[in-house]
């Protein structure tokens, strides 16, 4: 097929050229997106012409997150095996809702869930659901928590709703990710009903600030703060929470992956004792967007929260994906996760995590040596740096770095100070990428 050959050729050309590209699209490329703004065509265009238009106007306006010098937010690249698997997966177009709709999708979900539990040293036999991102993984796990806490009181929240239900207390750290609050809002638990626990300079919950834990509480821990990479002290908090009968949920979007390496046990120890976990695959595992999983210690809690009936949706004998997740029809995200984990193996995954963290330490060291202030303890792959003495100067340098195009880093505010955030999350980042990016940062700061 000429169309597929041409598309393949274009994709490969993009992949090969990524190292020569600016980390962020030029203003001209973004202006070029105007070419898409036309009225809905009355007649169809030929496929080859359609793909040419998409690639010619679209590719230049993409953000080079698959390259080695993109350090914005916390966004992984895509491993070659995961990308190739996604080509096949798109070609197969599987619907992963039910076993009978995709035996492959169902089988790879089971395999990859077992592998992830093994890799992260979480209890085997946990339940899990594939979802789009950590926001939905937080939502999904917290729905299971809501079910379990109310079921203990004889209240079936899925049948009866929340009106008149015994109240649930939700406890979060002051630096909890905004997506946890969004999930609480979606679940009827309320963003502002939370009890907020004080955090330290790194954003870690201070366990002493966790006073009495009321009955029917959910305690939300964070494994990897988006700014600092810091981990809440799991062991102390979980012991206390469980003594009070609380459910402990972990937002481990990217940081939980550090559990693959024993080198981070001082940070990640005790997280296996929680009741549920949210984990992104599209960040540190480097699979394509979008992909995450929600994990619960007891499969039944997920099953109860996401049960569904329907005359034509008959369950098979095995695990039926849609009985554990908010969605019915969805793409088979386990395909790329399988390919990523198969191609890396445990050794490759440990290397990916340790190598990106080493790159982050080199950034911190290089920036400190040049006289810039690193605001966080660089415990994993996140670095916060401030340039000069003011927010204005830091903003000026961030803008200059972004305009320079060698690399891309975003702005954040940490404890009242503007800072630049460097997140090394891509398998593709090399030592040379780090040196080139450091040189660009230092050059822009001097100018
Ligand atoms: C990225 C992130 C999220 C949100 O994840 P999405 O995949 O963007 O939905 C939640 N929590 C933490 C700690 C994160 O880093």
Last residue of a domain, one of 26, 57, 74: 74
- Report which ligand 1 atom has the smallest distance to the Cα of 137: 9
According to the model, what pLDDT value does residue 362 have? Answer: 98
- With beta carbons less than 8 A apart as the criterion, state whether 4 and 38 touch: no
Cα 108 from chain centroid (whole Å): 20
pTM of the predicted structure, to 2 decimals: 0.97
**Judgement on whether residues 438 and 316 belong to the same structural domain of the protein:** yes
- With beta carbons less than 8 A apart as the criterion, state whether 220 and 176 touch: yes
- With beta carbons less than 8 A apart as the criterion, state whether 300 and 127 touch: yes
Ligand 1 near 177 CB (within 6 A) = yes
Q: What are phi and psi of 45, to 5 degrees?
A: -95, 155
Show the DSSP H helices in 93-215 as ranges. 103-119, 134-151, 157-160, 178-186
Distance between start and end Cα atoms, the chain: 52
Ligand 1 near 133 CB (within 6 A) = yes
- With beta carbons less than 8 A apart as the criterion, state whether 357 and 391 touch: no
- Report which ligand 1 atom has the smallest distance to the Cα of 222: 13
DSSP secondary structure of 167-221:
P-EEEEETT--HHHHHHHHHTTS-STTPEEEPB-TTS-B-GGG-----SSEEEEE
CA of 226 relative to ligand 1 center, distance in Å: 8
Residue with the nearest Cα to atom 7 of ligand 1? Answer: 133
Residue with the nearest Cα to atom 1 of ligand 1? Answer: 253
The residue whose CB lies within 8 Å of the most ligand 1 atoms, and thus the one to mutate among 73, 180, 181, 251, is 251
CA of 182 relative to ligand 1 center, distance in Å: 11
Residue with the nearest Cα to atom 12 of ligand 1? Answer: 253
According to the model, what pLDDT value does residue 311 have? Answer: 67
Return per-residue pLDDT of the chain as tens, 447 residues: 899 999 999 999 999 999 999 999 999 999 999 999 999 999 999 999 999 999 999 999 999 999 999 999 999 999 999 999 999 999 999 999 999 999 999 999 999 999 999 999 999 999 999 999 999 999 999 999 999 999 999 999 999 999 999 999 999 999 999 999 999 999 999 999 999 999 999 999 999 999 899 999 999 999 999 999 999 999 999 999 999 999 999 999 999 999 999 999 999 999 999 999 999 999 999 999 999 999 999 999 999 999 988 767 776 778 999 999 999 999 999 999 999 999 999 999 999 999 999 999 999 999 999 999 999 999 999 999 999 989 999 999 999 999 999 999 999 999 999 999 999 999 999 999 999 999 999 999 998
Cα 286 from chain centroid (whole Å): 10
- Which CATH number characterizes residue 281's domain? 3.40.640.10
Ligand 1 near 175 CB (within 6 A) = no
Last residue of a domain, one of 74, 108, 129: 74
Residue 184 gets the label, from left (phi > 0), alpha (psi -120 to 50) or beta, of alpha
Q: At what angle do helices 431-446 and 334-369 cross, to 10 degrees?
A: 50
According to the model, what pLDDT value does residue 318 have? Answer: 82
According to the model, what pLDDT value does residue 30 have? Answer: 97
According to the model, what pLDDT value does residue 258 have? Answer: 98
According to the model, what pLDDT value does residue 310 have? Answer: 74
**Judgement on whether residues 259 and 211 belong to the same structural domain of the protein:** yes
Ligand 1 near 423 CB (within 6 A) = no
The residue whose CB lies within 8 Å of the most ligand 1 atoms, and thus the one to mutate among 253, 289, 291, 410, is 253
Q: What is the pLDDT of residues 317-336, one digit of tens each?
A: 789 999 999 999 999 999 99
Q: What are phi and psi of 353, to 5 degrees?
A: -70, -45
Helix, strand or coil, per DSSP, at residue 6: helix
**Judgement on whether residues 328 and 300 belong to the same structural domain of the protein:** yes
Last residue of a domain, one of 58, 74, 90: 74
Domain limits for position 304: 75-447
Q: What is the pLDDT of residues 46-88, one digit of tens each?
A: 999 999 999 999 999 999 999 999 999 999 999 999 999 999 9
Helix, strand or coil, per DSSP, at residue 89: helix
- With beta carbons less than 8 A apart as the criterion, state whether 301 and 66 touch: no
Residue 437 gets the label, from left (phi > 0), alpha (psi -120 to 50) or beta, of alpha
Q: How many domains does the chain have?
A: 2
- Strands 127-131, 292-296: pairing kind: antiparallel
According to the model, what pLDDT value does residue 211 have? Answer: 87
**Judgement on whether residues 15 and 86 belong to the same structural domain of the protein:** no
What is the rounded CA–CA span in Å between residue 33 and residue 16? Answer: 23
Q: H or E segment at 127?
A: strand 127-131
The residue whose CB lies within 8 Å of the most ligand 1 atoms, and thus the one to mutate among 133, 255, 421, is 133
**Judgement on whether residues 93 and 15 belong to the same structural domain of the protein:** no
- Tabulate helix, strand, coil % of the chain (nearest 5): 45, 15, 40
**Judgement on whether residues 217 and 365 belong to the same structural domain of the protein:** yes
What is the rounded CA–CA span in Å between residue 30 and residue 39? Answer: 19
Neighbouring residues of 35: CB distance < 8 A, sequence distance ≥ 6: 53, 57
According to the model, what pLDDT value does residue 309 have? Answer: 80
- Report which ligand 1 atom has the smallest distance to the Cα of 252: 13
What is the rounded CA–CA span in Å between residue 94 and residue 332? Answer: 6
**Judgement on whether residues 267 and 131 belong to the same structural domain of the protein:** yes
CA of 133 relative to ligand 1 center, distance in Å: 7
Ligand 1 near 386 CB (within 6 A) = no
Ligand 1 near 75 CB (within 6 A) = no
**Judgement on whether residues 44 and 101 belong to the same structural domain of the protein:** no
Residue with the nearest Cα to atom 2 of ligand 1? Answer: 253
Residue with the nearest Cα to atom 3 of ligand 1? Answer: 134
Ligand 1 near 301 CB (within 6 A) = no
CA of 389 relative to ligand 1 center, distance in Å: 30
**Judgement on whether residues 40 and 187 belong to the same structural domain of the protein:** no
**Judgement on whether residues 418 and 334 belong to the same structural domain of the protein:** yes
Tokens 């992949």 -> residue: 15
**Judgement on whether residues 48 and 192 belong to the same structural domain of the protein:** no
What are the DSSP E strand ranges found in 245-404?
247-251, 276-280, 292-296, 373-374, 382-386
**Judgement on whether residues 55 and 80 belong to the same structural domain of the protein:** no
- With beta carbons less than 8 A apart as the criterion, state whether 297 and 123 touch: yes
């Amino acid at each position: 097929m000429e169309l597929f050959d041409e598309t393949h050729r274009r994709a490969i050309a993009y992949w090969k050229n990524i190292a020569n590209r600016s980390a962020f699209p030029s203003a001209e490329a973004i202006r070029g997106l105007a070419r898409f703004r036309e009225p809905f065509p009355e007649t169809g265009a030929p496929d080859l012409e359609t793909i040419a238009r998409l690639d010619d106007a679209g590719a230049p306006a993409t953000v080079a997150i698959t390259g080695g010098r993109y350090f914005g937010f916390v966004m992984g690249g895509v491993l070659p095996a995961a990308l190739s698997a996604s080509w096949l997966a798109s070609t197969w177009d599987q619907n992963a809702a039910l076993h009978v709709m995709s035996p492959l999708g169902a089988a790879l979900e089971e395999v990859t869930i077992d592998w992830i539990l093994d890799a992260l040293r979480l209890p085997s036999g946990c339940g899990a659901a594939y979802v789009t991102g950590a926001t939905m993984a937080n939502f999904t796990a917290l729905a299971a928590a809501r079910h379990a806490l109310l079921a203990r009181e004889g209240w079936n929240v899925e049948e009866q709703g929340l009106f008149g239900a015994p109240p649930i207390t939700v406890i979060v750290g002051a630096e909890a990710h905004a997506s946890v609050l969004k999930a609480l809002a979606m679940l009827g638990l309320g963003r502002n009903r939370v009890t907020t626990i004080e955090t330290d300079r790194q954003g870690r919950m201070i366990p002493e600030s966790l006073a009495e834990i009321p009955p029917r509480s959910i305690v939300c821990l964070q494994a990897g703060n988006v700014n600092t990479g810091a981990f809440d002290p799991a062991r102390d908090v979980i012991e206390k929470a469980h003594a009070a009968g609380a459910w402990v949920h972990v937002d481990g979007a990217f940081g939980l992956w550090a559990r693959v390496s024993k080198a981070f046990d001082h940070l990640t120890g005790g997280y296996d004792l929680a009741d549920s976990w949210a984990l992104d695959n599209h960040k540190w595992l480097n699979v394509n967007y979008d992909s995450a999983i929600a994990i619960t210690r007891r499969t039944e809690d997920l099953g109860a929260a996401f049960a569904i009936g329907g005359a034509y949706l008959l369950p098979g004998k095995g695990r039926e994906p849609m009985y554990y997740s908010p969605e019915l029809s969805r793409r088979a995200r386990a395909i790329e996760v399988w390919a990523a984990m198969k191609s890396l193996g445990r050794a490759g995954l440990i290397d990916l995590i340790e190598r990106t963290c080493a790159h982050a330490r080199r950034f911190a060291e290089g920036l400190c040596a040049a006289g810039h202030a690193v605001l966080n303890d660089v415990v994993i792959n996140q670095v916060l740096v401030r340039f000069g003495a003011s927010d204005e100067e830091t903003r000026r340098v961030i803008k200059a770095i972004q305009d320079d195009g060698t690399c891309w880093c975003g702005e954040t505010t940490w404890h009242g100070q503007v800072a630049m955030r460097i997140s090394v999350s891509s398998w593709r980042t090399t030592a040379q990428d780090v040196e080139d990016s450091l040189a660009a940062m230092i050059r822009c700061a001097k100018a």
